[in-house]
């Protein structure tokens, strides 16, 4: 019987999410220097970064619960 659990999605999104957090931790001085600039498009960087973290962490969390078999109850 084949399993339809999204293990690949869980692993890939987990690695991407972990890499983002690691990069934030390792390069926090450079990131803060860029995010506190007020010229050009620099003020948009925190918003883009928040969306990237939210998307990858949300994908990882969704795959995590799906692999565990915990899903929303369907109405119908």
Question: Where are the chain's structural domains?
Answer: 7-68
- pLDDT value for 2: 54
Could you say which residues of the chain have pLDDT below 50?
none
Report whether 63 contacts 6 (CB < 8 A).
yes
Kindly report, residue by residue over 54-73, the tens digit of the pLDDT.
999 999 999 999 999 998 88
- What is the DSSP code (8-state) at residue 43? G
pTM of the predicted structure, to 2 decimals: 0.84
CB under 8 A, 24+ apart: contacts of 52-58: 52/20, 53/17, 53/20, 53/21, 56/13, 56/16, 56/17, 56/20, 57/17
């Amino acid at each position: 019987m084949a399993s339809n659990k999204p293990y690949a999605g869980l692993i890939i999104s987990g690695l991407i999410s972990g890499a983002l957090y690691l990069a934030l931790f390792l390069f926090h001085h450079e990131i803060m220097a860029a995010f506190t600039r007020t010229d050009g498009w620099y003020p948009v960087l925190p918003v883009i970064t928040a969306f990237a973290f939210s998307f990858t962490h949300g994908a990882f969390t969704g795959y995590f619960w799906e692999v565990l078999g915990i899903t929303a109850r369907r109405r119908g």
